[in-house]
Every structure is written in C-alpha cells, then in structure tokens.
Structure 1
Amino acid sequence: MKRSLDRKTTKKQALPVNEYAGFVVEGPAIETVRLKQGFFEKFVEKRTPVKIISPELVPVDISAFRSDRILETLAEAKIKKLQVERKHGLGFGLGKKREELAFSEIVGKLASGDESYYLTTQYESHEYEEGDGDGDGEEILSLEDGEEVENSVNEGIDEDDEDDDDEDDEDDEAGDEAGDGIPAASLDSDNESINFENLHDDFDDLENAQDDFVVPEHKLTQDEVDFRISTLLQAPLTELYKKNDFPLVPDIFGPLIPQQINLWMGACKNGEKAKPELKNITKESLGRYVPKGNSSGLHHDHADNLYVLVQGRKRFTLYSPRDAEKLKTVGEIRRIFPNGLIDYKVNEKARFWRPMREDGAMLGEWARWMIEKGDFLKISKEELEEIIENDEPFAENGESDLDPPSFSTVPPLLAHLDEVSEEDRKKLEIYAEANFPGFLDLHKLEVWLEPGEMLYLPTGWFHEVTSLAEGSGGAHVALNWWFVPPTGEKENPYPDNYWKEDYDKTLAAIAYQRAGPA
C-alpha cells in the first residue's frame, strides 16, 4: 500500500538502532598524516577522520583550480549555465530556489568577493532534493560548502557545505549530498501494484533499441554514456574525463568506488558580521550565523569524502555518528550502521527518502539487481519483490521547505560558543540546554584546513564547515571526491558486486567517449 501524507502513525516509534563501531572522539585534536603507508587500514577501515598534509598525496595541481586560473583549466565550461545558491538572511539554502548563471559569471562574482552566491552540487532538472539542500562535503547531498553528495544515496551527493541547498548550499562541501547514487527507477504504481515480470534497472528507459547501444557490452546508449560521465564528474568538471591523468580514485583510497567528484566555490568577507538578536532566541533567529565566515550548517553525508582545499580557509567541526541521536536531525533516524551510514524513516520529515543498506545502495534498486541476476541463494525472489513493493516514497511529488533529513536542527553557533562574549554565551547555553539537551557536552573535533591540505571524512560524521577567504575577502574553492562507503576490509570492501558492476559501466562510458567516433 502506498504511503500517504494524510496517513497517521499510531504505533509508538521505536528508538533508533545505533550500531556504529568506528572511531569515537575522545579529545579535540584530529590526527594528522603525511604518508600513504597503512592509510586505508588505519583510517578508512576504522572510520577515522584524518587531516592529510602531504603535498605528494594531493591528487591534482590545486593551483589550476584557483579562481584566477579555473576558467583556463575548465575552458569548455565557461558558458555553461550552472545552478547557484543565493544567500538569504543568515545563510544559504533555507528552502530557497536556485538560480542559473554562466560559469564565467559565477567565477567573476566570487573572485570579486560577492558572498551572496555559492556554487555547489548540480542537480538534474527533474531531480528533487528535500529543501534543495546541499552539503559542504563539508553532498551527494551539498551545503554552502557543498559536502555532499552522493550518488546512490538519497541526497544526491553532499559536500563543500557552507550551506547546502539544503544540504548543498555553501555546502553535500561534504553535501549531501551528493550525489549519492543511481537514480531511482520509476514504478508504475497507479493501481498500487508492481509487474515483477517487467522489472528494469535505473537506465531501462534508455535501453529500448539494440541498435542504439554505443557500448553493446554494457548496453549503453549515447544518452547513458553522457549521463554517467556527467554524474561522476559533476559540472563544471565534466570535461576532465578527457584527461587520462585526472584521478577518479586518488591512490590512498585504493579499492573504493567513486560516486561523484564535485567543485565547490563561494566567497567571504572576513570582517565583522552583524549578529542575531539574542533576546528571544529561536532556531530561525540564529539561522546559520557564526561570528566569522560563512557556515554550512551541521549535517552529515552518506558517502565517504576526500575534501581538498584549493583556496581560502576552512574550519570543520566534527561529531561522531555515535552521537547522532543527540544532534537532532530533521529526519527520524531508523538505523546507524557499523560503518557510520545513517538511514532514515520514510515519513513527512523525509518524504522522498528511500531505505538503504550499509554501503548506501537503495534497497529497492539492489533488489531489482538481484532479481535480474536471478540470484536467490541468500534471499528468495518473493522477499526481493516485497522489498521493491515497499520501496515507495512518502510522497511522489510536491515541494518541501524542509532541510534534508540528514541536517541537524542545532544552530551552528552553538558549536562555537567560545567565540562570543560571556554575556551572550550564558544566554545561548540556557537556550541550548532547553532545546538541545546534552549537545554542549558532546566531544568534538576541530580541524583547520589551508590550501593544499585535505580532510578524509567517513560517512555519517556530522560536520559544520566554516569558510573564510584569504586576506580581507574573496573566493574559497574546494574539490570533493565522494566514495561508496565500505563495509569491510581493503581486500573486500563491499558485500557484493552491486557497485562494481555499475562503476564498470561508467568506466566503459568514459573509455568510449575518450576514443571518439569510430
């Protein structure tokens, strides 16, 4: 039966299941690493954030992506129209619509210090992101600094996260989402039934005519070739597929499968900022205000993230998935997996969410894949069909002014009370204890990044990203690599070949496009 917005929940809600088994915060300092030896085993497998400061480990020449050179590096994207966030009040996103500007115009505005714009996760015109949020990779799904993102995850990969477009504004820099994953297949549910004899994968609509396949081995049409490349290398980075030396997976991440690679750009003036009124404190009055710089808001992503700072300065404030319940997310947490990935209940707070497993694969898409393979050794066809039948959003269309479910409702200022006056701090502490009990007692990590430094952030780690410009003001720029979150050790990081088979198709698409017309 389809879920309805009018449907009332009468059963007592079960408490979230927190199975997180990775690194937890004990002190304020984050570990710093210079060498790649043992990196995967020590940090990726153990789900440990780490600051990387070795120039030899930076995957690209970051100078080519600074605001004064990026139009030369990405020349083919100059006139391309890209989605940007506009600042409203004390932050980006906040349910506001995106605008489209030519990439060259965006770079010009940001380089001049215009902090009213933010370039983050790029969504397809048909995609809907709850709150249009972004993450600063800071998303697959993105924020003001764009964390996000996420390819097969629900938030669309996020990022730099300085205020996601609800996860993607000025950051998915983690925000984000997103992108997270393969687009959901459309189900014919007008009569609330599913024809299991006519199942198809995410790109089935593109696979109608055999004669249209340009990569027959993987049944790829030209449209899917283009789609896969632009999904992995998000605009304005798409044309980098032509460069054989551009790494889709940096060396230290070995067997991980990339979901998306994003560019985040914003601007900031480093002077004093008008502060919010503290007489009658509310979440709305505080917004995403922080005393200095621009904030992404506090959120988490659904993919592992390598955040490479190109220009400006960034401060990450990190909280462990172990503390997720105390961080008051927009969505209701259903389960926190051992690797840190956080799944949500599908309801009015996450109307378009789709249940996922520990590696971020949406259960409905995985079930279709299993049926198409005819693999019923571990789970029966009937059970897989039931998973697909239950894989329906709370609402199939419509808009929402909510932030993504992965956003914390805790105002970012509460993570930085050491930066306000004693008088203001006392007021904010009273507000925090009344509305977010226990938050001020949580252990956190604080990480500052300078150009050329990087942060590895495993999935599920909550982060608030404050972006600052160099000198008195100007652009801040970052690159994000998003990876399918691993569930095992280096030799066998994923539970099956679901993601590998999909990535093989993307690699085949890139190889075909690089070769050019026959």
Structure 2
Amino acid sequence: MAKKQPDAVKYKGYVPAEGAKIDRVKATVDPKEFHKRYIAKRQPVIIEGLIQDEDFKAAKWTDLGYLKETAGSASVKIEPIDPDVKTFGTAAEKLKMPFSEFIDKLTSTPDKYYLTTQYDEDGEPSVLPPPMDHLATDFPLHPKITGNLVLQQTNLWIGNSSEGTSSGLHHDFHDNIYCLLRGKKRFVLYPPSAHPSMYTYGELDTVHQNGLISYTNRPSRADGLTEREAAQEKVDALEERWHKLEEGADEEAIAAAEEAFEDAMGELAMLGDEDDEEDLELGDGGDDFEESESDGDWETLGSKAAKPNDVHEEESSDEEDGPTFGEFNGDDDHDSEEEEGLGFDIPEDEDPVSFSTIPVSYLHNHLDLPTISKAPKGNVKDFPLLKTANALVGHLEEGEMLYLPASWFHEVTSSSSKNGTVHMAFNYWFHPPDGSEFKHPYNDRSIWERKLRAVEQKAADIKARVAGKKRKKEKAKAKRKRKQERDAPLKDQKRAKLDGKKTKRNQA
C-alpha cells in the first residue's frame, strides 16, 4: 500500500489550478513549440487533428474490411468480458485467435471482446506487436510532433460498447500520444504530484522531477531505467565505442576507451545480479493507458452514480503512516479475486502498483460527473485526500489526439459513437524524457541516442519486411488478375459453345 511521503514527491512540472481546463492546440503546431509548451512542462494537451506526417494513414483503419485484409492473419490475444460481473479486466483467460476472427466477433457480439496491449512471442513488449507489425507501413514510427523522444511501443485498441466502459483510475510509465480514430472518450486527469491523494496499491519510492513515479518494488531513474539497466546500457555503449576505435584510432584513444569500459563493468558488478532483483519490468511494459489498456476495462459503468451514503467515512488509527485505503466488510480470506470495496478484479498475474483503489463511482460522484457506474460491493471508507487534488476533465472526439506525460493519473470513459459501431484508438508510448532540450530530451545522451538508433533500426527492419510481403501479395494479386483477363475470352467462348448446344437440344 502506498504511504504518504511528501519528501519523495520531487515533481516540477505543470499542476492544474482549481477549475482549469485541458489546453487545446492545432495538430499543425511546430514540433519545437510543442516540446517547449507541453513536453518540457509535462502538461497534457488535446491536439485538434491527427498525426500530420505524410505516411500517417491510420485513419483508414476504421474500414474493418481493410484491417481484415491487411492484418487479418495476425495472431492476437483477446480479452473476453467476465460473464458474471459483466466487466473486462478480470482474471478471465485471454483468447488467442486470428485478428480477422476477432473483428468478426466484435461486430457480431458487441460488448463481449476487447483488443488490448499485445506482446511478442516471448511475452515481452515490442515496438510493433501484432497486429501493428502488419500495419507498419500505415504510420510513421517517429512522428514529427514528438521531436526526439524514443519510441517504446505502439498499440491498437478496439472495442464495441454501446453503454460505455471505464478504465479505472491509474497511471502509466511512458509519455503517450493517443489518437482517437473512432468513438468518444472522456478523460479525468490528475498530475503525478497528486500521488498521495490517489491511494495506489504500490508503495511510493519517488515522484521524479519529470513526473515519472517509481515504486519500492522497482526503484527507477527519471528516464524509467533502473540503476542496473542504466549501468548495463553504459557498458554496451562503451564496448561498442571501444571496438569501433580499434578499427583505426590511435593506441592512446583505444586504451582510454578500454579503461572506461572496464570501469563501467566494475560499476555494473557492484550493482549485483539482475536475477536477484524482484522487479516487474514496469519500465518496459507496465502501461495501462485506456480501458486499463494492457488489461481491458476495470469496471463497467453501472446504472446510477454512487450516492453519498454509499460511502462510510472512518478515521484512520495510524495517521503517521499516511492515507489508508478502501476497506470492505467481511472476512479478508475470501476466495474470489474480486476485491470488494474496489469495484474491480485484480488479475492473478499482475501487481497493479499504479492503480488507484478509489472506485470509479466514487470518483465520478466526487467530481459531479455524469455516470452510470455502479457503486462497488461493501461499505467503502472515504478517501479524504482526493479532495485536495485538482482534476482536469476533457472530452476527445474522433480525429483528435491527447498528449499525456508519463505518470499522469487518468480515468477514461469510452463509448462507441453509434450502436453497433466500434470504438478504436491507436497510440504511441515513448520513454519519459528527463531533460528539457528539444534536440536532447534525455540527460544520459550516450544511452538514449544508442537506444534511439536501435529502436529505429529494429522498426525499419520490420517495416521493410512488411513492405516486402505487401509487394509480394500485390504481385500475386496482379498475376491472378492477368490470368483472369487472359482466360476470360476462352471462358466466354466455352460458355457460348455450351449455350449453343443447349439451344439445339431445346429445339430438337
């Protein structure tokens, strides 16, 4: 459980005043101006329009036929709705199926399936996981508006909800450019500095100056790397430099590079063995942006807003430990994975350190927002510190984007524009910048410039492979068309001959 640690909150970015609104900016904004006004200041903003790069063609994904034709063979894992609690984000086992089959299920059985974050075959995050690897030629890997941020992952989110679903209140660990292609979204946002008021599961280690939140189960630097990961990256970079110098530099430069490499190896050794660390790799794959993005919806919206008497305020008996959390009546040793008093289930294979224990119904009621969220089971105690934090509330329409800096808390209510249609979004996750310069957004330049080159090379290889497959497919399609055109006259002749014989038989 999180504890109140004011000294650990070092955030220096934007904090909304009471009654503030989310800024809006045109998608044609100059990238340097965008970085200065929003990325460097760690301020969310709604962007009016989609990615302006010429190779951004994701808007055509709203044609489900195109998605099936282009990426239908991709193998994806789909989250089914829990039949008992009627919600996503439970311990229900994900279903593996071709992407085309998912699209068919989505349109024939709405409100039952959801496409969330995908991983590679080893279960690791990937810059272009399926079905993004099949769609890689439809969007830029480095959109101009994001400047020199380093890409961590791209994702496609598709659901079909007529009534609406909620993500639950949580934060992610990467900067986000979120593109709404179809549907509607309402966002409730809180800054990272509000962490003491968010009642998270995780125990706070640090809220860094750039806003990135680090927990005690995996302490990290402001750029998201652990000290050991950073040391390993430094070793790799120095080793690469050393070997390059051996190709032609003087002996003195080679010796200096070798010495620096050996010093870095010593620093790495002092940090211990990675296998001895019990971390969740949140810096690589712990984001849950929208509909709890990596694990679907954490609470479906119910029929009414929570009433004030649904919440029972109790005084903490241990105030020096900071805020306590939502409690529920009954035996703590219940068998169900559902935490009564929270309103959503905890996946068995995930420790949701970045999720708030504040129920959606309570949050909406506190902010006087329209809601159909049901109050959770049990008698939940009050969350008094929530009243000390100022929220931003905004609406995203089709064809708009949201920039959300790392570790901004958010609750997202999502719905389809019309009954029977899907809601669809595409997003980029970027490693959080800990510097303020447009050209060099990361302080540890040697590490991040190398990582940028590696990401771009890997993504370029995938794009080239996808483009090659597409050309091969188009070539085969053209070959079939030529054959059909060539055979057409023969088929016409044969059909005419058969028709002639039939006519003669009828006359006879």
Band of TM-score, shorter chain: 0.5 to 0.7
- Equivalent residue letter for 2:186: R
How far does residue 410 in structure 1 lie from its aligned partner after superposition? 1.2
How far does residue 473 in structure 1 lie from its aligned partner after superposition? 4.2
How far does residue 441 in structure 1 lie from its aligned partner after superposition? 4.1
Q: Do 2:141 and 2:459's aligned partners in 1 also have CA atoms closer than 8 Å?
A: no
SS of aligned partner of 1:239: coil
Query: For residue 207 of structure 2, what is the aligned residue in structure 1?
Result: 336
Structure 1: 5+ residue stretches without partners: 1-11, 128-155, 157-178, 180-230, 271-292, 347-353
C-alpha distance in 2, partners of 1:96/1:15?
Answer: 38
How far does residue 331 in structure 1 lie from its aligned partner after superposition? 1.2
SS of aligned partner of 1:451: coil
C-alpha change, 1:56 and 1:481, in structure 2 (3 Å) is closer
- Equivalent residue letter for 2:150: I
Query: For residue 255 of structure 1, what is the aligned residue in structure 2?
Result: 148
SS of aligned partner of 2:96: strand
Equivalences for residues 379-390 of structure 1 within 5 A: 381-389=265-273
2:400 is equivalent to residue 507 of structure 1: no
C-alpha distance in 1, partners of 2:159/2:454?
Answer: 33
2:24 is equivalent to residue 32 of structure 1: yes
Query: For residue 487 of structure 1, what is the aligned residue in structure 2?
Result: 434
C-alpha change, 1:257 and 1:49, in structure 2 (3 Å) is same
Query: For residue 352 of structure 2, what is the aligned residue in structure 1?
Result: 404
C-alpha distance in 2, partners of 1:258/1:471?
Answer: 33
C-alpha distance in 2, partners of 1:64/1:17?
Answer: 45
C-alpha distance in 2, partners of 1:304/1:240?
Answer: 22
Moved more, 114-123 or 362-371: 362-371
Equivalences for residues 445-484 of structure 1 within 5 A: 445-484=392-431
Query: For residue 12 of structure 2, what is the aligned residue in structure 1?
Result: 21
C-alpha change, 1:396 and 1:459, in structure 2 (3 Å) is closer
What is the RMSD of the two structures over their aligned residues, measured on CA atoms?
Answer: 3.4
Number of matched residues? 367
Q: Do 1:368 and 1:388's aligned partners in 2 also have CA atoms closer than 8 Å?
A: no
C-alpha distance in 2, partners of 1:92/1:16?
Answer: 37
Q: Do 2:196 and 2:385's aligned partners in 1 also have CA atoms closer than 8 Å?
A: no
How far does residue 125 in structure 1 lie from its aligned partner after superposition? 5.1
- Choose from 301, 305, 314 the match for 2:172: 301
- Equivalent residue letter for 2:397: E
Considering only CA atoms, is the larger Rg found in Structure 1 or Structure 2? 2
How far does residue 332 in structure 1 lie from its aligned partner after superposition? 0.9
Deviation per residue, 1:52-85 (Å, 9 max, x gap): 113574873443111xx24424634213321111
C-alpha change, 1:14 and 1:54, in structure 2 (3 Å) is closer
- Choose from 157, 160, 172 the match for 1:264: 157
SS of aligned partner of 2:176: strand
Q: Do 2:119 and 2:129's aligned partners in 1 also have CA atoms closer than 8 Å?
A: no
Q: Which structure exhibits the higher relative contact order, with contacts defined as CA atoms closer than 8 Å and separated by 6 or more residues?
A: 2
- Equivalent residue letter for 1:469: S
Q: Do 2:77 and 2:96's aligned partners in 1 also have CA atoms closer than 8 Å?
A: yes
Query: For residue 364 of structure 2, what is the aligned residue in structure 1?
Result: 416
- Equivalent residue letter for 2:356: S
Deviation per residue, 1:158-204 (Å, 9 max, x gap): xxxxxxxxxxxxxxxxxxxxx5xxxxxxxxxxxxxxxxxxxxxxxxx
Equivalences for residues 185-264 of structure 1 within 5 A: 231-241=126-136, 243=137, 246-264=139-157
C-alpha change, 1:234 and 1:401, in structure 2 (3 Å) is closer
- Equivalent residue letter for 2:29: K
C-alpha distance in 2, partners of 1:13/1:382?
Answer: 36
C-alpha change, 1:401 and 1:234, in structure 2 (3 Å) is closer
Q: Do 1:16 and 1:336's aligned partners in 2 also have CA atoms closer than 8 Å?
A: no
Equivalences for residues 47-58 of structure 1 within 5 A: 47-54=42-49, 57=52
SS of aligned partner of 2:273: helix
How far does residue 267 in structure 1 lie from its aligned partner after superposition? 1.2
Alignment TM-score, normalising by the size of structure 1: 0.64
SS of aligned partner of 1:474: coil
How far does residue 325 in structure 1 lie from its aligned partner after superposition? 1.8
C-alpha distance in 2, partners of 1:258/1:395?
Answer: 22
- Choose from 188, 201, 225 the match for 1:317: 188
Q: Do 2:169 and 2:355's aligned partners in 1 also have CA atoms closer than 8 Å?
A: yes
SS of aligned partner of 1:24: coil
C-alpha change, 1:414 and 1:75, in structure 2 (3 Å) is same
C-alpha distance in 2, partners of 1:324/1:93?
Answer: 23
SS of aligned partner of 1:111: helix
SS of aligned partner of 1:394: coil
C-alpha distance in 2, partners of 1:449/1:92?
Answer: 22
Q: Do 1:367 and 1:385's aligned partners in 2 also have CA atoms closer than 8 Å?
A: no
More helix by share: 2
Q: Do 1:84 and 1:118's aligned partners in 2 also have CA atoms closer than 8 Å?
A: yes
Deviation per residue, 1:113-165 (Å, 9 max, x gap): 511211011134543xxxxxxxxxxxxxxxxxxxxxxxxxxxx7xxxxxxxxx
C-alpha distance in 1, partners of 2:44/2:398?
Answer: 18
Deviation per residue, 1:187-241 (Å, 9 max, x gap): xxxxxxxxxxxxxxxxxxxxxxxxxxxxxxxxxxxxxxxxxxxx21221010334
How far does residue 47 in structure 1 lie from its aligned partner after superposition? 0.3
C-alpha change, 1:252 and 1:512, in structure 2 (3 Å) is closer
Deviation per residue, 1:344-403 (Å, 9 max, x gap): 112xxxxxxx43211112332221222342688798654432324377343899x94554
- Choose from 209, 212, 225 the match for 1:361: 225
- Equivalent residue letter for 1:31: D
Query: For residue 45 of structure 1, what is the aligned residue in structure 2?
Result: 40
SS of aligned partner of 1:232: coil
Moved more, 480-489 or 403-412: 403-412
Q: Do 1:309 and 1:477's aligned partners in 2 also have CA atoms closer than 8 Å?
A: yes
Q: Do 2:5 and 2:204's aligned partners in 1 also have CA atoms closer than 8 Å?
A: no
Identity in percent:
35
